[in-house]
Structure 1
Amino acid sequence: MTMKKIASFILAGLMFSAVSCKESEFTERYTDPSKLAESSVEKQYSGFMYASKDYILPGYGQYFVTLRTTLSRYNQAVGWPNESGQYVPASAGVQDMWFNYYNTLAQYRELEKVYNASSAQEQADKKIFMLTAKVYLYNYTQRMVDLHGAIPFTQAGMLSTNNGDYVGSTAKFDSAEEIYTLMLDDLKSIATELNTITVSSNYVKPFQTQDFVNKGNITAWKRFTNSLRLRMLNRVSAAANFQARSNTEIAEILNAPGTYPIVETNDQNIQINVYDINTDINSKGFQDGLASGGWYGNTAGKKMIDFMNATSDPREMLLFEPGENAKGAYIGIDPLGTSATQTALFNSGNVAIYNRYVLSHNQFFPGVIINAPEINLIKAEYFLRSGNDVSAKTAYETAISQSVQFYTSIAALSNATQGTKPATPTDAQITAYLANDAVSWTKATTPAAKLGLIAMQKWLHYNVVQPYENFADIRRLDMPTLQFQVDNANNQTAPPVRWNYPGNEVTYNPTNYAAVRENDKLTTKLFWDVK
């Protein structure tokens, strides 16, 4: 089966899109799968990963079309002028991401098809490709479930597998709980299998070559697997049907680091690194995606800037640069202001923007998947929930230090010619920040106050860089408290708690959509959003 013939209709729903990678260039190491006469497990593996790269590496489509008017605003990671309809996710951005996910899923189904058609010996030799592909897929799937709730999954992307049976390939919607259960079961099984797997000597080099996430590093894949488990288990920790499992399995992971290694340091971060900006693996699109002039994609919000100002946050100069007329002051747009006032402030040149040198103009900005500050904040939350204040404090303070280090290391990668090259924050600055009353663990006297500290640091660390995790944790914790102008001119008066399904899914998968129609509202909470 040629990669070119995988094609045409991916029904998540009925998506009219080629499955094969269509970019004219890949890298020398990762040949463009659409130019291959025949597929193989190895080639299909890289093609599958490659399909989603534009929604991991920061680029124009993701940041300008999808995030600029949705999560960046709902998370108050940016400031913008209010307008009616601003709390309804734009259909173009929702649809583009939906299409990309199901494009990626269809590539994965083709990988399964090629693998299943292989001999028993070849399947044994290439098992590592299938295990790690599933981990990579589940990271993206969790994001989609956390945005939409129920999605087509177990039966989706099967047109090629079903030999072109169009009607038979329409996919049912699996519930969010069902998908989470399936993924958590599989990830636990994969974590165990990765501890005993031996990669055939004939496939060590091919795996290293085709794996452009972890370069064939099995330990890194173990950390990816268990860190993703940790994220998901924490996400469902307040859901009644998952509480016991969450507590048991998080304890199991954290108490057995040799068996279940996780991301502990920034050197172990799971991300797509950019090595050569002249290949397709680059972040060139971040500039127009985040920092397009006048579109409010990179303008600072008042709450984030005010908190950083008040606490002398050492990340402020890493993440932001003052407006050109602000005389060095960091100023953000007030979400409760009138549109006229907000626009006038922006036009005055006083509004801070995300630092172009570190973020948008940095063509070496990595595609962030999971990092150490995120994991330590999850650990802090778990330890706090478990009554282990000492360990919670250690994880919390470690996460903050690592967050500063993370953005410092990102700045060191930059090839930007615009923006402000920041000075490296000192240990003394980090220590002073940890002692600030609004940040200090010891100054917070109740579990609720300490959870508020964790939530605030998640919000600051995620900002525009990890918007999906930011959106999920803000909804789950209802912290930090974000105030928005009420949009009385629209039925959706406040930010949504989920995204609608795109119009193509509604139109072309009507029978299966009917089963979820009643829950397809922007106000329908996900099962883990119980506060």
Structure 2
Amino acid sequence: MKKQFIKIVIVVAVFNLFSCTEDFEAINTNSTGQSEITLPDLFKGIYSNIVIAKPEWQYQLQQNLNADLWSGYMATPTGFAGGSNNSTYNLIDGWNDFAWAPTYKNIIAFTDAIERKTKNVQNDFYALSLLLKVQAMHKVTDTFGPAVYSQYGTGVLPVSYDSQEEIYNAMFTDLETAITHLTNKIQSGEPSNLAGVDKTVYAGDMTKWVKFGNSLRLRLAMRITKINPVLAKTEAEKSFAHTIGVITENNEILSLNIPHPVGVISEGWKDIRMSADMESILVGYSDPRLSKYFKESVQFPTEYKGVRTGINIISKSDHQDFSGLSDEIVSKITFMTAAEVYFLRAEGALRGWNMGGISQLLYEEGVKKSFEQHAATNATAYLADNSSVPTNYVDTAPGYAVNNTNAVSTITIEWNDIDTNELKLERIITQKWIACFPDGQEAWSEHRRTGYPKLFPVIKNTSGGIIDSNLGVRRINFPISEVNANAAGVASGVSKLNGPDNGATRLWWDTTGSNF
């Protein structure tokens, strides 16, 4: 953390050497002829670190060997660290630092620099940086809980942590600031200045960025439904009622057209495979998206085979030829889909919020949008299926029958209006879980919040009794690198937890009890 703050001071000092004007070129030009970090460079650094595309091993530690596993999306056939690692609930500090440090060093340092450079000069860039800041930081706080947010960039050590509640309130404020500015700019008829810094498929389209901002606000609002239902409803309805609104079409999906790093991890290294949970649900549903997400097993041709997380791995070769990820699914990095937003609205409608439709129709539209996104067919027939359920899991690798288990859910696909709200929610979240693949961070957060979809428990638990095999990992402990550099700051964060600094302590929004 100390090096990080030194870096900010250096960046800010460079910026302060030059006066700012309202002209984009002037903002990025050093009149003395010396080199300066430009806005495109700063934004490029942000995009490439929300999901670390290169080197791939950093993404493997940033998300793949934590949230991607704990979400039930993927599993590893590799017995890292002697078979005692994140997959068996022994949280390895050297790995988990990558879920923290890159966000501060290569995203928040850059958004802080952009703010100092443009906040009172060219607010288009500041507004975009706020949207990206919230996109990055909600992943950090949903992984660790308390974190550095309001005190970032002060240059003073120790740096105090905000509670997760404080961070969420600040993120809602930052989203409102960004959305309001871009909306006013659109309504004024002025052209966008963002094309030169926007490397996403939006290419500087302010309307799409506003829709993303509202959709992100809706996502965060849903996260706090159990801990602060009044604020959740307010923020969710504000997003939908906004004059520009939320993402509704697949051509509004936010993504980067660069290969997803999990492709190399899957097909290059064979360190990640389809999960047993994915096999149980997608095979049980005869889901047409199965072949869009995964490849057939090399070991068992014509079959889709998943690996169960938290097992005793004797040899990597036993499962490395189970199903890997498809070429399509790893062809780009996706941050937000239209399908997810429809499922968010479906849950909101289930809770009695104004989401522009009834829960059933929004649920069904979410499924249809997911099918359309992946060019899957027969969505209508799929939605009419009232009998298919997740299937039992059989580990077909020789010598691994101990991993076999019955399905843990009997939820069907077709909407049933006489079901309880809890069953309806399980149906919505299960389909949202399918549609959000491969974003394991979002899936893990929603699983912790709702308990859905129901996932297979680990068999091998090496947490030393800290983490419950059935409840799973609730958060990651603060990394040792942060403890060493900002011990008093970490202590302030621990004081704002609901328990000890370990993987069993629930986050602020992760409360027990019914979803309704």
Report TM bin, short chain. 0.7 to 0.9
TM-superposed CA distance for 1:339, in Å, is 3.4
Query: What is the aligned partner in structure 1 of residue 4 from structure 2?
Result: 10
Query: What is the aligned partner in structure 2 of residue 317 from structure 1?
Result: 291
TM-superposed CA distance for 1:327, in Å, is 3.1
TM-superposed CA distance for 1:453, in Å, is 0.6
3-state DSSP of counterpart to 1:369: strand
Deviation digits for residues 226-284 of structure 1, max 9, x if unmatched? 11111111111111xx2112113322332x35x14111111111222x2xxxxxxx327
Change (3 A) 1:221 1:46: farther
**Structure 2 residue identity aligned to 1:192:** T
Query: What is the aligned partner in structure 1 of residue 42 from structure 2?
Result: 47
**RMSD of aligned alpha carbons:** 3.3
Aligned partner (choices 245, 260, 282) of residue 261 of structure 1: 245
3-state DSSP of counterpart to 2:255: strand
- Does residue 162 of structure 2 align to residue 174 of structure 1? yes
Deviation digits for residues 17-74 of structure 1, max 9, x if unmatched? 9979xxxxxxxxx9xx99993548xx33651442341433655135423333212221
TM-superposed CA distance for 1:527, in Å, is 1.1
Change (3 A) 1:334 1:514: closer
- Unpaired segments of 5 or more residues in structure 2? 13-24, 387-411
Change (3 A) 1:472 1:91: same
Query: What is the aligned partner in structure 2 of residue 93 from structure 1?
Result: 95
Query: What is the aligned partner in structure 2 of residue 500 from structure 1?
Result: 477
Q: Does the CA contact (< 8 Å) of 2:384 and 2:414 recur in 1?
A: yes
Q: Does the CA contact (< 8 Å) of 1:56 and 1:368 recur in 2?
A: no
**Structure 1 residue identity aligned to 2:349:** F
Aligned partner (choices 492, 504, 514) of residue 523 of structure 1: 504
TM-superposed CA distance for 1:285, in Å, is 4.1
TM-superposed CA distance for 1:9, in Å, is 2.0
Could you state the TM-score of these two structures normalised by the residue count of structure 1?
Answer: 0.77
Return the alpha-carbon distance in structure 2 between the equivalents of residues 358 and 182 of structure 1: 36
Matched residue count: 454
Farther off after superposition, 469-478 or 483-492: 483-492
Query: What is the aligned partner in structure 2 of residue 115 from structure 1?
Result: 118
Q: Does the CA contact (< 8 Å) of 1:106 and 1:158 recur in 2?
A: no
Deviation digits for residues 279-336 of structure 1, max 9, x if unmatched? xxx32744323334342x1x12222212212211010110112112423122222447
**Structure 2 residue identity aligned to 1:514:** A
- Does residue 212 of structure 2 align to residue 224 of structure 1? yes
Change (3 A) 1:496 1:38: same
- Does residue 349 of structure 2 align to residue 372 of structure 1? no
Could you state the TM-score of these two structures normalised by the residue count of structure 2?
Answer: 0.79
Return the alpha-carbon distance in structure 2 between the equivalents of residues 178 and 75 of structure 1: 26
- Unpaired segments of 5 or more residues in structure 1? 1-6, 21-29, 160-167, 275-281, 409-424
Query: What is the aligned partner in structure 1 of residue 265 from structure 2?
Result: 289
Change (3 A) 1:198 1:320: closer
TM-superposed CA distance for 1:343, in Å, is 5.8
Change (3 A) 1:513 1:15: farther
3-state DSSP of counterpart to 1:174: coil
Change (3 A) 1:379 1:200: closer
TM-superposed CA distance for 1:394, in Å, is 1.1
Return the alpha-carbon distance in structure 2 between the equivalents of residues 450 and 69 of structure 1: 31
Farther off after superposition, 49-58 or 303-312: 49-58
What pairs up with 1:293-442 in 2 under 5 angstroms?
293-295=269-271, 297=272, 299-335=273-309, 338-340=312-314, 346=319, 349=321, 351-355=322-326, 357-360=327-330, 362=331, 365=332, 367-386=333-352, 391-408=358-375, 425-426=376-377, 429-437=378-386, 438-442=412-416
TM-superposed CA distance for 1:211, in Å, is 2.1
Change (3 A) 1:80 1:207: closer
Return the alpha-carbon distance in structure 2 between the equivalents of residues 387 and 55 of structure 1: 31
Q: Does the CA contact (< 8 Å) of 2:430 and 2:453 recur in 1?
A: yes
3-state DSSP of counterpart to 2:335: strand
3-state DSSP of counterpart to 1:321: coil
